[in-house]
Structure 1
Amino acid sequence: MRDSQWIVEFNDTTTESAQNWATNVKNDLSKLAETRSVESMQWAKQSIYRIPRSVKDLCSGAYQPQTVSIGLYHHGDPHLQSMERHKHRALLTFLERSKKPLRCYLDALSPAAQDLRHAYHHLEPVWKGDTEAFLRVMIVDGCFILEIMRTATAAPESVEKMGYVRNDPVFSSHGALYFVPYIKRDMLMLENQIPLLALAILFVAEDDNLLVNGLSKLSMLILNFFSHPHDANKIHEYGKCLHILDLCRQSMLMRLSCQKANKPKNRWRFDSDCLPSTGVLKKGDVYIRSAMELTEAGIQFKQSRTRSLNDISFQGGVLRLPQIMVDDALESEYLNMIAFERFHVGAGSEVTSFVFFMDGIIDSARDVGLLHSRGIIQNALGSDKAVADLFNSLSRDVSLDPESSLAVLHQKVVEYCGKPLPRWMAYAKHNYFTNPWVGLSIVAAIFLFALTGIQTVYTVLGYYHSK
């Protein structure tokens, strides 16, 4: 039998196209091992992805930049062209202040051009074949990012020393108020990124004194710009961040050490390295109840010690959650972080799991009001219903990773809700001890009942003693 007959049994009626297809499959199969290796290397380098239409359709505005294009995917979009002249002004001011020619930055980026290209999941042919055009975008957009972050976080007099006039529409206190909030939102979109490597190269090439700790200083500049809390001494613990979105995501997680997570005993933290592997729930096994229902089951809500999305714990009927600010930018920020976790293998699922968890405990405005009263939710949207609707929409097409440590916390909460004593105590507290007079009346009644019981016992004992 011929070698190709294991694929398809040829005969006189077999079409030429079928024979060609069988031959192509055979050739591809012979190169399968090599193809796997090449694909694996390509996937490992990718970090900036196009959002599929099926995902965008759920909330298109969250993934589409409205003010400025960063990187390649939205370069040249007509509705973003008005910002291009400001990006060019930023480049000129950057070069003027650095006192270095453009060629210096081109030479610095050129050796990394291939790695920078590989960061993009999908590239149009023009970017693959024209290295100069590709580097031009990296430099212009990179310089714009550095300049907008510096001017937005500096005092007005310092901005003027950087080379910008006081009435500059973008690089000024006016721009920080009216333009920067929208630029920030666009800079945290997955499709609107440039590799952090490109920013780091430009940052260091500008100042030779930053060769040693340039990446740490760049990271602090980014986190200050986005008002993300961070510890300057622990920047290195974030690991290798791939772009601005990834860096901000890492700062929101700020993992706690296992020593802290294990004290006191039986304290369950959202940290998979510190949790046992047994008893993890499979997807769909259990759903967390709403905050109001959990309260009725005897669970108390308290604010965590940090704002880390990892700092979730449950102990002794107390569920601790990190404080979060819910504003207009949160939806886009969370959705893009969820998209990054979805498409980047190995990124983790912490933000996705957190959103899934919050959607479970937030069903209505009453749940939001309860969490707000406990200092967990800071509502900048206005109404509690708007916050509830936001979290319910964030969780569309989102599922909980059955291997995540949050599944363990789910199990502990559900087990606690099944105990009758906490529920009875919560019911009594809610119905009888919210009013101090009612509470005092109940205590007095119990006291009188106890006295009556004692009197009865003594009467009976006296009767038998007299006998």
Structure 2
Amino acid sequence: MEKLAEYLGGKLETFQPLTRECSIYRVPERKRCLHPRDYTPKMVSIGPFHYGKPELKAMEEQKERYLKCFLQRTKARLASFLEFVKQREAEVRNCYAETIHNLASDEFVTMVLVDAVFLIELFLRYYNRNLRTDEDPILGKSCLFWEIRQDFLLLENQLPLFILNDLFNLAKTAASSHCFYEEISFTTVTCYWFRDDIVGYFPMKENLLEIHISEAKHFLHLLMLCLHPSQMPDQVKLKNDDQNIPSVKELHEAGVKFKSGSSKNLIDIKFSDGILEIPFFTVYYYDTERMHGCPSYFNDYIIMMSCLVNTPKDAEFLIQNKIIGLGFSEILPSVFRSLDRDCSWDIPFKYSGVVADLQAYCQLPRHKWKANLKQNYFNTPWASISVIAAVILLLLTVTQTICSFIGS
């Protein structure tokens, strides 16, 4: 037992405590088993978690090409960049929630430099078209370009932003042509890259990327910071914690009107005076990405939208009301349902006030009667004319009957 205790004790001594810098995690196996492809990079590995996988090695050669081009624009030698990363190795390793046993120091430093420069060079080429070459397989082929963009927002496929920023500044300081880097920074090129990738799909106030990038730990964290609502709807205690959120169809039949919200935040769903406001967003087939570890407000948003968009008809109705942009209405309900599997109804629910108001509105009979008249009898000009004509005919008939009765 003494030898066993000595062995186990020595092993425990080698463990390093998790630090405040820890921000990049593995997705729990329970979730990975359900949707393994959603958590795994398809084209390029960034960082240590998926490093060396055979199916991702095709991009390693392109990373080295980018590194060569990157070094040609700076007076700093390759050895200087490696030494720079080496000095920050411990800090970079501390950003990961598990010890990277499979990579010795030299291999880890090399991996970090190659991956970091790959990202920087790609962002530079996207920002400045003059840097692109004819043989570039990424920016020259749209399909590959879009696949790679998705890989950059996977939790397990991240590098800490501080090392990217520091390497960019080192290259800029030692640049052989200072005019190239004039008035640009890592923030400039990164925000330019993600502006289309994030702002193109989600409503977002201007300059949020620039505001939050200094506090972001990695790219996915940057997205979450940008989606964070400035304020949430008022919360109330739902009766028996009622989780019955009406669908779009049910709300429509109850007379609820839908409007594309003017808010510049995706999460800002409001209900007032019979109008449900949902900020505009666009959904494509690759938006099934799970964002493990997402904040509670995003968890509640997914639950809310999953209940609202229960069928393709619900999705089509929101598209018609310009709440959802060009996308695939047939798959939208399944997209939200698949996202919903990773979410849990927590108390307090962020949209409890909105849900309570919707439930109360739907329970009033007069709203349903009014909606039924409008949807079934006054839904088109011709239908309205027909109803009015029928009412007039009925009144004339009744009047004639009364007159005949009086005359007799």
The TM-score with structure 2 as length reference comes to 0.82
SS across alignment from 1:329: helix
| 1:54 aligned residue | 30
| 2:406 aligned residue | none
1:366, distance to aligned residue in structure 2 (A) = 0.8
Conservation of the 8 A alpha-carbon contact between 1:152 and 1:180 = no
Structure 1 residues 338-374: Cα deviation after superposition (integer angstroms, max 9, x where no partner): x132xxxxxx223222211111011111111111111
Given residue 70 of structure 1, which amino acid in structure 2 is its aligned partner?
Answer: I
Residues in 2 aligned to 1:191 and 1:211: alpha-carbon distance in whole angstroms = 33
Change (3 A) 1:232 1:107: farther
| 2:293 aligned residue | 340
| 1:133 aligned residue | 107
1:58-137 to structure 2, matched below 5 A, reads: 58-127=34-103, 130-137=104-111
Rg bigger for which structure? 1
1:216, distance to aligned residue in structure 2 (A) = 3.6
SS across alignment from 1:91: helix
Residues in 2 aligned to 1:122 and 1:414: alpha-carbon distance in whole angstroms = 46
Residues in 2 aligned to 1:401 and 1:67: alpha-carbon distance in whole angstroms = 35
Q: State yes or no: 1:422 paired with 2:394.
A: no
Residues in 2 aligned to 1:51 and 1:283: alpha-carbon distance in whole angstroms = 33
Residues in 2 aligned to 1:419 and 1:105: alpha-carbon distance in whole angstroms = 69
Residues in 2 aligned to 1:397 and 1:224: alpha-carbon distance in whole angstroms = 27
| 2:135 aligned residue | 167
Residues in 1 aligned to 2:209 and 2:51: alpha-carbon distance in whole angstroms = 35
| 1:399 aligned residue | 344
Given residue 218 of structure 2, which amino acid in structure 1 is its aligned partner?
Answer: H
Given residue 202 of structure 1, which amino acid in structure 2 is its aligned partner?
Answer: L
Residues in 1 aligned to 2:82 and 2:145: alpha-carbon distance in whole angstroms = 28
Bigger Cα displacement from structure 2, 407-416 vs 108-117: 108-117
Structure 1 residues 278-321: Cα deviation after superposition (integer angstroms, max 9, x where no partner): x2448952221111111011111111124522221111111111
Conservation of the 8 A alpha-carbon contact between 1:150 and 1:221 = no
Conservation of the 8 A alpha-carbon contact between 2:245 and 2:307 = yes
Given residue 195 of structure 2, which amino acid in structure 1 is its aligned partner?
Answer: N
Given residue 243 of structure 1, which amino acid in structure 2 is its aligned partner?
Answer: H
Change (3 A) 1:72 1:355: same
| 2:154 aligned residue | 189
1:166, distance to aligned residue in structure 2 (A) = 1.3
* Gap regions ≥5 residues in structure 2: 399-408
Change (3 A) 1:51 1:283: farther
Given residue 236 of structure 1, which amino acid in structure 2 is its aligned partner?
Answer: I
Residues in 1 aligned to 2:209 and 2:100: alpha-carbon distance in whole angstroms = 38
1:234, distance to aligned residue in structure 2 (A) = 6.8
Q: State yes or no: 1:327 paired with 2:284.
A: yes
Given residue 77 of structure 1, which amino acid in structure 2 is its aligned partner?
Answer: K
Q: State yes or no: 1:409 paired with 2:366.
A: no
Change (3 A) 1:238 1:432: farther
Residues in 2 aligned to 1:72 and 1:286: alpha-carbon distance in whole angstroms = 41
| 1:310 aligned residue | 267
Conservation of the 8 A alpha-carbon contact between 1:307 and 1:324 = no
| 1:377 aligned residue | 324
SS across alignment from 1:377: coil
1:100, distance to aligned residue in structure 2 (A) = 1.7
Residues in 1 aligned to 2:44 and 2:71: alpha-carbon distance in whole angstroms = 21
Q: State yes or no: 1:243 paired with 2:200.
A: no
Structure 1 residues 26-59: Cα deviation after superposition (integer angstroms, max 9, x where no partner): xx9xxxxxx9xx96xx263321111122101221
Q: State yes or no: 1:231 paired with 2:231.
A: no
1:62, distance to aligned residue in structure 2 (A) = 0.6
1:93, distance to aligned residue in structure 2 (A) = 0.9
Residues in 2 aligned to 1:154 and 1:434: alpha-carbon distance in whole angstroms = 52
SS across alignment from 1:319: strand
SS across alignment from 2:325: strand
Residues in 1 aligned to 2:182 and 2:116: alpha-carbon distance in whole angstroms = 18
* Gap regions ≥5 residues in structure 1: 1-15, 29-34, 257-270, 342-347, 454-467
Residues in 2 aligned to 1:194 and 1:126: alpha-carbon distance in whole angstroms = 17
1:194, distance to aligned residue in structure 2 (A) = 0.8
Conservation of the 8 A alpha-carbon contact between 2:274 and 2:361 = yes
SS across alignment from 2:109: helix
Bigger Cα displacement from structure 2, 419-428 vs 438-447: 438-447
Structure 1 residues 63-94: Cα deviation after superposition (integer angstroms, max 9, x where no partner): 11111110000000011111111111111111
SS across alignment from 2:73: helix
Of Structure 1 and Structure 2, which has the larger fraction of its residues in helix? 1
RMSD of Structure 2 on Structure 1 (CA): 3.4
282, 301, 311: which one pairs with 1:354?
301
Residues in 2 aligned to 1:215 and 1:117: alpha-carbon distance in whole angstroms = 22
Residues in 2 aligned to 1:108 and 1:420: alpha-carbon distance in whole angstroms = 70
Change (3 A) 1:438 1:211: closer
Change (3 A) 1:305 1:125: same
1:450, distance to aligned residue in structure 2 (A) = 9.6
| 1:291 aligned residue | 248
